[in-house]
Chain A
Amino acid sequence: MTSFQSTIGDEEGIAEELAEGQREISIAEFFEKNKHMLGFDSGARGLVTAVKEAVDNALDATEEAGILPDVYVEIEEVGDYYRVVIEDNGPGITKEQLPKVFGKLLYGSRFHTREQNRGQQGIGISAAVLYSQLTSGQPAKITSRPKGQSRAQYFELIIDTDTNEPEIKADEETTWDRPHGTRIELEMEANMRARQQLHDYVKHTAVVNPHARIELREPGLDEPLKFERATDELPAETEEIRPHPHGVELGALIKMLEATESYSVSGFLQEEFTRVGKKTADSVIDTFRDVHYGRELAWAPPRTHDDRDVEAAVADAVANKGKEATTAFAEGVAETVADNDRLARSELAAIVDNVAEAVASDTGRTFGATVRENAVAAAWAAITGIDPDADEPDGEALVPDVYALVDEATSTRKDDAIVEAMAEALARRFENLDGGAFRVTRDDLERLVADAASFVAEQHDATFGETARENVVEAFWSRARTVPDDPPKVSSIAGDRDAAADLLEAMRTTDILAPPTDCLAPITAELVEAGLRKEYDADFYAAATRDAEVHGGDPFIVEAGIAYGGDIPAEGAVELLRFANRVPLVYQRGACATTDVVKSIGWRNYGLDQPGGSGVPNGPAVISIHVASTNVPFTSESKDAIANVPAIEDEIELAVREAARELKSYLKKRRSMQQRREKQDVLGRILPEMADKVSEVTGRPRPDIDGALARIMNNVSVEREVRDGTVTLVVENHSDVTETLEVTDIVSAEPTDLSDGTVVAMDGEWFVQWKPEVPSGDERELTYSVADDADFEVSVGGVETEKLTVNA
């Protein structure tokens, strides 16, 4: 800046002088100055980020090789520095690739693919290497043993920040006890102030990767933290996909058009995009035709009472074809035309072609292109009533047709004079369209109608409002015909920005199937729940996985899980776990779309406490949200927070609400169970006392109140009666729904004469089992005979214990 100031008066040579100071900046140099962008803004955070990047890489590598991940993380104090070691059992990295993977920024395999991966840009681990060398001056120490090789390769390397190239300090063969895998050792200036975040990261990684085994050792831990595997199932392998037509931008489209080997638009669409087959390509192209060429307005052919005669006009236009052929031709055209309610010029041309072919095969007379053209022009003049040779359009010919459509499109309250005037104004404008085929794009049509409407408004001091105009446009557009012209070739669209924009619009407005999801590896609702179960001891778990949606051509899936109760602390706000492509997001919670969505939901509806009715709810709950996408939109390169993209926010909300609905019904049920239990407790105490009292007052023996009790408690009772060697279990259902029970009576002697049910002998005991279905308010008797001195033990399933009274 100072150099600029000092030479400001001297205009000559400023540019040259400035140019001397202008040079290319190495990407490594850039990030050296912008560490915070990558999550290395402080020592505390740098440590967490380094672990995160290395673990993410480890998980990606093992999964890709179909290996169940086994990740080991160790943090050690080394003098004033910390040493971070991350080891995995992945497939290893070849000797040739290794220096570049770790020693070159923006080197990676994922940036150009549309596939769900943890890493995307190829920045993370090399940034950690860079951070380590900048703060400690030590090279990164990397050992890798590719699968199948007997020895491992050991490297020490640093990144040359001027060139963004790895500089190898040591390169030797070594032995390693792991059969395959990679180990990276980084020394850096750091501190453990972010211990909590580190633990959260590792724990949450375990929640969301139930197939991984992770171990963490750090100076503050007496025992290593071990997270065991909850499933042996690897996440589904992801497929790379082509972009989706709904998600490309104009610049990208033009680049693709330039690069493609396809010749036709149809081929291009089918080759380069996902979910586009012949049919979809055709409908995109039809939309493209409408956008690019416009449609042809269609007119009603003359009816018999009109003085315009298609047949005569065609006959006149044909010369030297003989009377018979001419008549057949003219009749054929006139008849086919009359069969149509409306016709566009291109349709007329097709009719003329067809009839010409037919007449030619009947009579042997050929109708050449010129004859056909003349015939089309003559028939078209007869249909529209417009003389193509007239110098000035008469402006009257189209009025009846236009009037009919305008009248139909406008409300009946519209003054007929206004409709008439509008029809005349529009007809004049249509007649002025170039080319005689009445080709018009929707935009132009809208403009014409608006123009005519304002003319009418001015002339007749009447309003022709927006809705009326839209209706008129729609009336004409829906009756206009898509033109049969072939779309331009790919190469010419690539060179024509407007045409490319038209194609993009056509792609976006055509309905196309959502992208395939095999490029994504959602955790699945089942495993989201398993992950929560593994790390949180709760009373209730729910999870939901949404269907894939598209944002910017990238498909994404949102999953949500909720754990409630149990050991989760009841005080304070609920814990929110955020994940993107199976990576826990630890920092910038407040800037994240997931947090915003959770705050915006009215949790009181779902049974959670939410002070003020908005914000993060309180209570013993954990909410976990996972966004999986081929390209997760983050707020920054450090990948801490998901950006507020409306399409993604909507899906997050739906997923969370889906899981929350289950929570709600659980909480409701729990509350009603609790009330039922309380009621049972109180009534179970009061009613016997009341019975005692009334028997005392009346001087009668204590009444049997079991029936009343069962009825009051709205429940299902199972009672045993034993009389003369016959055991009867009476099942009474006092609830208001049909109950299906599983009654198992374990008897010490062999039972006989079973009333249905089954009996199984085992170790000198007999298991008698029934599955009675008892309608509300009904009862069933289950009987068998047995020796008098038999012992019984009954167990009843199929009914919630709170509803069950067993007296047997």
Chain B
Amino acid sequence: MTTDTDARDELIDLAADFYDQFAAGRIPELELPTRTKSNIEYDPESGVWTYGDRTSTRSANSVRGARKLLKAAYTIEFLADQLDADRSSTLRELYYLSESWDNDEAQFSSQDESNDLVEDLEIVTGVTREDFHMRPEESGATLMGPLELREQTRRGEREIHCQEDVGEGGYQIPNNPDMIEFLDDDIDFALAVETGGMRDRLVENGFDEAYNCLVIHLKGQPARATRRITKRVHDELDVPVAVFADGDPWSYRIYGSVAYGSIKSAHLSEYLATPEAQFVGIQPEDIVEYDLPSDPLSDSDVNALESELEDPRFQTDYWEEQIELQLDIGKKSEQQSLASRGLDFVTDTYLPERLDAMGVL
């Protein structure tokens, strides 16, 4: 874990880099890996997808580049001060905070811009934004299952059991899951669930208790904290991880970012991705096999599926087969469509069958 001082030093080093470039009569520039789909590569050692060798240069040689670097200088100062004062802020706060800077040119024009810049700084300094004390606006999702942990909060240490000490909502994952220490568990496997409705269904049906399962709520595209804790559960507790999502291309991307890492944060894949995570469903195959109620694929669905066929992360036999099958049948189904067979069908039949077939149970 990076200490606050380390993080601060990395930032100052970057500023010193700019300084030295100026002093040498050179044009300040920043070299970053190209953050596009075509520049992510499979790293066989860690089993995750990281950025390839292609880089692009932010140079002050252009008006755009100069503005970016000026903003970087101001953001470095802000983050360094924040670490000094042991405060934290959200990405959105950074965006608004830039309005208070004395220089109009340094202000962000949109939150995407400030988010991107923080990611750029993560990449060059090798320090995660959590260690810069930056957090996303919406925090991570929830855990429910036989796990006892200790969280380091600003108000002291808390020991929490994620079934007994929490309500039906479950345990709220903090922004920096590295502040958590696992104490004890009785988990056989972890199940990451896309939608809140399905998570609630599993809890109501007592699935976590019946199968010693840690139910992780992904809340759509999972936040970094959710992905990080998933990886830690897998690595530290040595349990299999399965992802349960809708049967459409967008949900496959959710699985992709849990298992392989996302394109935007490929520099952190080693830290966030769980390559061993398996996809439970809904598989296109299930739509056929269980005759699930379905919607036709829209044009954007088809485009997304086709683009996934070209996505290096999905170039496995399994995914090619599933995606092509889905394009063939032209249908998609939600997790909740399993309710067409009764409310208990998912916990009594579908999941046990699928998890058994996958070798998780």
Contact = CB atoms under 8 A, between A and B. Distances in A.
Given A686-B70, A686-B105, A712-B27, A695 B19 contact: yes
A683 B59 CA distance: 12
Nearest to B21: A708
B63 A693 contact: no
Nearest to B70: A690
Contacts of B61: 712
Contacts of B26: 707-708, 711
B240 interface: no
B28 to A, nearest CB: 7
B67 interface: yes
A295 to B, nearest CB: 70
A703 B70 contact: no
B63 A694 contact: no
B12 interface: yes
Contact of A711 (B16, B25, B67, B106): B25
A708 B63 contact: no
Nearest to A697: B15
B351 to A, nearest CB: 53
B13 to A, nearest CB: 9
Nearest to A707: B25
| Interface bin, chain A | 20 to 34
A697 B12 contact: yes
A443 interface: no
A539 interface: no
A358 interface: no
Interface stretch (B74-82, B108-116, B223-231): B74-82
A671 to B, nearest CB: 15
Contacts of A706: 25
Given A697-B15, A697-B77, A705-B22, A689 B105 contact: yes
Given A698-B12, A703-B22, A708-B26, A693 B62 contact: no
B32 interface: no
B79 to A, nearest CB: 10
Contacts of B11: 697
B12 A693 contact: no
A707 to B, nearest CB: 3
B22 A694 contact: yes
A691 B74 contact: no
Given A678-B63, A679-B62, A689-B105, A694 B73 contact: yes
Contacts of B27: 708, 711-712
Contact of B69 (A690, A695, A700, A711): A690
A683 B66 contact: yes
Nearest to B79: A697
A705 B21 CA distance: 9
A700 B27 CA distance: 18
Contacts of B105: 682, 685-686, 689
Contact of A687 (B15, B16, B60): B60
A712 B18 CA distance: 15
B298 interface: no
A409 B67 CA distance: 72
B281 to A, nearest CB: 51
Contacts of B66: 682-683, 686-687, 690, 712
Interface in A688-720: 689-691, 693-698, 700, 703-708, 711-712
Interface string B64-105: 001101100110110010000000000000000000000101
B63 A703 contact: no
A686 B74 contact: no
Nearest to A680: B63
A315 B18 CA distance: 107
A693 B105 CA distance: 13
Contacts of B28: 690, 708
Interface residues of B, number: 30
B23 interface: yes
A708 B20 CA distance: 11
B25 A693 contact: no
A698 B105 CA distance: 21
Nearest to B69: A690
A685 B66 CA distance: 10
Given A694-B73, A703-B22, A704-B23, A689 B103 contact: yes
A588 to B, nearest CB: 51
Among B62, B73, B106, chain A packs the most CB atoms within 10 A around the CB of B73
Contacts of B73: 690, 693-694, 697
Contact of A694 (B18, B67, B103): B18
A696 B15 CA distance: 9
B15 A694 contact: yes
Contacts of B25: 704, 706-708, 711
A683 B28 CA distance: 12
B70 A683 contact: no
Nearest to A691: B22
A696 B77 contact: yes
A705 B66 CA distance: 14
B62 to A, nearest CB: 7
Given A682-B63, A685-B105, A712-B27, A693 B70 contact: yes
A714 to B, nearest CB: 9
Contacts of B77: 693, 696-697
Contacts of A689: 70, 103, 105-106
Contacts of A703: 19, 22-23
A101 to B, nearest CB: 70
Contacts of B103: 689
A686 B67 contact: yes
A494 B360 CA distance: 113
B60 A698 contact: no
A695 to B, nearest CB: 6
Contacts of B62: 679
A807 to B, nearest CB: 14
A691 B62 CA distance: 16
A682 B103 CA distance: 13
A693 B60 contact: no
A693 B27 CA distance: 16
Nearest to A706: B25
Contacts of A685: 105
A109 to B, nearest CB: 68
B73 to A, nearest CB: 4
A20 B153 CA distance: 127
Contacts of A704: 22-23, 25
Given A690-B73, A703-B23, A708-B28, A683 B16 contact: no
Nearest to B16: A698
B14 to A, nearest CB: 9
A687 B22 CA distance: 9
A698 B22 contact: no
A61 B28 CA distance: 72
Interface in A246-280: none
A689 B105 CA distance: 9
A698 B19 contact: yes
Given A697-B73, A703-B23, A705-B22, A690 B12 contact: no
A700 B80 CA distance: 16
A707 B77 CA distance: 25
B61 to A, nearest CB: 5
B52 to A, nearest CB: 30
24 contacts: A683-B63, A686-B60, A686-B66, A686-B67, A686-B105, A687-B60, A689-B103, A690-B28, A690-B69, A690-B70, A691-B22, A693-B73, A693-B77, A694-B73, A696-B77, A697-B77, A698-B12, A698-B16, A700-B16, A703-B22, A704-B22, A704-B25, A706-B25, A707-B24
Given A682-B63, A694-B16, A711-B27, 9 more contacts: A682-B66, A689-B106, A690-B28, A693-B70, A694-B19, A698-B16, A708-B25, A708-B60, A712-B66
Interface of B: 11-12, 15-16, 18-19, 21-28, 60-63, 66-67, 69-70, 73-74, 76-77, 80, 103, 105-106
The 10 closest A-B pairs by CB, nearest first: A707-B25, A693-B73, A703-B22, A697-B15, A703-B23, A690-B70, A686-B66, A694-B18, A694-B19, A694-B15
